[in-house]
Amino acid sequence: MAKEAKTNAMRFLDKSGIKYEYNTYQCDEFIDGVTTAKTLGQPPEETFKTLVAQGKTGTYYCFLIPVALELDLKKAAVSVGEKSVSLLHVKDITKVTGYVRGGCTPIGMKKQFMTVVHSSAEELPLFYISGGRIGLQIHLCPADLVSSIGGKFCDIVMN
């Protein structure tokens, strides 16, 4: 088996000394996170998607939530001290983050944005996030991720 090409996210984690594992799966285009979790036999509550939003001030933010849940935009705004936030349009994801839809991760973006991880991850020893390209996931400790990028945990999903 050929050696996996490192993504910016993997290089960042290596440089930061953060332990992680990665999974690859066959996928040529975007598929939703629930389907990805089921395909790989991962619990959806331990598989997180990265959503990028822009605040009323024009600042960009990353929000990580379990793949089966929906972001509560009001809670998300409060978590970053904004009056409101709106999700980035799909056509703008690559321009803003350097990643494509389905491969977006809060690690190794063009610029490090404030990142909020849903509070359910705080109790998990490990969770799955995108590895920086479609078909690649990183399995790591949520606390390690949050501390390495200056993020925080908050309740940001709809009830």
Which CATH code fits 8-122+141-154?
Answer: 3.90.960.10
107 Rama sector, left if φ>0, alpha if ψ -120 to 50, beta otherwise: beta
Alpha-carbon 16 to chain mean position? 18
For each of the chain's 159 residues, which pLDDT tens digit applies?
A: 456 689 999 999 999 999 999 988 887 666 788 888 988 899 999 999 999 999 999 999 999 999 999 999 999 999 999 999 999 999 999 999 999 888 899 999 989 999 999 999 999 999 999 999 988 999 999 999 999 999 999 999 998
Q: Does residue 71 contact residue 85 with C-beta atoms inside 8 Å?
A: no
